[in-house]
Amino acid sequence: MRTADVIIIGAGIIGCACARRLSSDGLRVLVLDAAFPGAGATAAGMGHIVVMDDSQAMFSLTLASREAWARLAPDLPPRAEYAAAGTLWVAADQEELDAAGHKHAFLRERGVKAELLDPDSLRGAEPNLRPGLAGGLLVPDDLVVYPPTVAAWLLGQAVRLGARAVMGSRVVRVESGRVTIADGSVFESPAIVNAGGQWSQDLTPGLPIRRRKGHLVITDRSPGFCRHQVIELGYIKKAHASDEDSVAFNIQPRPTGQVLIGSSRQFDPIDERGHGRPLDHGIDHAILARMIRRAAEYMPTLAGLRALRAWTGFRAATPDSLPLIGPHPRIPGLWLATGHEGLGVTNSLGTADLLADLMAARTPTIPAEPYSPSRVLGDG
């Protein structure tokens, strides 16, 4: 018996955004999650909505998504903690200042507002930055949201449009047109979306996704301590270029006056059979200390704030750092919306639009090929 037009596995921000979008297309959507909305990486992330320039494909998806977030802003409830914080990219030296210049040119050529800052303007924008930095780049229209409440809100919108959400249902088998959950119940649908994030390779074996652990710390309240999402420009090289453990200065002002400090990146070790280790959510104190030292190098006064809590989360990384959005090349009716690594909050709305267009055989507003699962899974 057909249970729904589409079954979405996973109520992280990706599954929730897809549920809302597909429901608004008039499809009968069923969302299944082993836990609750936003229980995975979505609860652990920073919620920075940022236009990236690593590649044209990443730029197109992040910009389309940021624009979708801005359109959604008037409808978002206060608990979404939507803030037009802007991104302040910080250059420590001439090499990074040159990188800021390239980023500036790339964004401006494509119509995105961005402003180069000299050292004085940089300190004017963020007085707690240390003196002696080379300059910065302000991208004023970047945003911040609070991911778990936004995910729950997106799912609520889907339900208002007619979707069904069954939480606490762990999917144990995915086949063409059928999903089985842990209690043995079977749900049937012509279309199934794997939006399982860091678990999507368990649901669909063969997906080239590796977990990439991240640490975050939240401080006590210190209203006005920083005004923007502030990130070192070295972040770009460290975030994507290497398999090694890395830390980068990346902080975010919270509406409560707290400061969220990130971030670290550590690939899950793989054993000799190519399998990842069991999930280890524990704090790695050595990398946490490195991360905090790095932040204090940029903002020495951070050392005067009290850290209240630290936690970890796992990003779902693909080999080329682009998400997998589109049909599985060999399993009829199976769609993928996963592998968003450190940009899933940003890219959730763009992913949902792209997936909905592909499912409806409409021409997407951005080219779909760069995100096509067949680029890494091969053709059918």
Residues 335 and 10 sit within 8 Å (Cβ to Cβ): no
When asked if residue 44 is in the footprint of ligand FAD (CB under 6 A), the reply is: yes
Among 22, 27, 31, 32, binds ligand FAD (CB under 6 A): 32
Closest distance of CB 350 from ligand FAD, Å:
11
Closest distance of CB 161 from ligand FAD, Å:
19
When asked if residue 9 is in the footprint of ligand FAD (CB under 6 A), the reply is: yes
Residue 96 neighbours by CB distance under 10 Å: 23
Closest distance of CB 14 from ligand FAD, Å:
3
Query: Across the beta sheet with 29-33, what order do the strands follow?
Result: 164-167, 29-33, 6-9, 191-194, 334-338, 324-327
* Coil vs helix vs strand at 148: helix
Beta bridge partners of 87: 139, 229
* Coil vs helix vs strand at 352: helix
Considering only residues 342 through 371, tell me which ones interact with ligand FAD, judged by CB under 6 A. Answer: 342-346
Return the number of the residue (93 or 376) whose C-beta is nearest ligand FAD: 376
Site residue total, ligand FAD (CB under 6 A):
43
Considering only residues 90 through 129, tell me which ones interact with ligand FAD, judged by CB under 6 A. Answer: none
Considering only residues 233 through 252, tell me which ones interact with ligand FAD, judged by CB under 6 A. Answer: none
Closest distance of CB 133 from ligand FAD, Å:
22
Instruction: Give the dihedral of Cα atoms 12, 16, 17, 20; nearest 10 deg.
Output: 180
Q: Which residue stretch of 38-46, 106-114, 153-161, 296-304 sits at the interface with ligand FAD (rule: CB under 6 A)?
A: 38-46
In 12-71, DSSP assigns E strands to: 29-33, 48-49
Closest distance of CB 363 from ligand FAD, Å:
25
Return the number of the residue (135 or 264) whose C-beta is nearest ligand FAD: 264
When asked if residue 317 is in the footprint of ligand FAD (CB under 6 A), the reply is: no
**Which of 339, 375, 362, 360 minimizes the C-alpha distance to 61?**
339
**Going by C-beta distance under 8 Å and a sequence separation of 6 or more, which residues neighbour residue 374?**
326, 329, 380
Q: Which residue stretch of 105-113, 121-129, 153-161, 195-203 sits at the interface with ligand FAD (rule: CB under 6 A)?
A: 195-203
Pairing of strands 186-188, 178-181: antiparallel
CA distance 53 to 97: 16
Among 133, 143, 161, 203, binds ligand FAD (CB under 6 A): 203
When asked if residue 201 is in the footprint of ligand FAD (CB under 6 A), the reply is: no
Residues 179 and 151 sit within 8 Å (Cβ to Cβ): no
Closest distance of CB 291 from ligand FAD, Å:
10
Among 340, 354, 358, 359, binds ligand FAD (CB under 6 A): 340
CA distance 338 to 1: 27
Among 48, 66, 210, 211, binds ligand FAD (CB under 6 A): 48
CA distance 15 to 208: 19
Query: Across the beta sheet with 178-181, what order do the strands follow?
Result: 171-175, 178-181, 186-188
Residues 193 and 355 sit within 8 Å (Cβ to Cβ): yes
CA distance 97 to 232: 11
Q: Which residue stretch of 128-136, 190-198, 289-297, 327-335 sits at the interface with ligand FAD (rule: CB under 6 A)?
A: 190-198
Residues 69 and 199 sit within 8 Å (Cβ to Cβ): no
Q: What share of the chain is helix, strand, coil (3-state, %, to 5)?
A: 35, 25, 40
Amino acid at 356: A
Return the number of the residue (47 or 86) whose C-beta is nearest ligand FAD: 47
When asked if residue 166 is in the footprint of ligand FAD (CB under 6 A), the reply is: no
Return the number of the residue (117 or 345) whose C-beta is nearest ligand FAD: 345
Closest distance of CB 229 from ligand FAD, Å:
8
Among 7, 27, 40, 261, binds ligand FAD (CB under 6 A): 40
Q: Which residues bind ligand FAD (CB under 6 A)?
A: 9-15, 32-35, 39-42, 44-48, 147, 170-171, 195-199, 203, 214, 216, 262-263, 313-315, 338, 340, 342-346
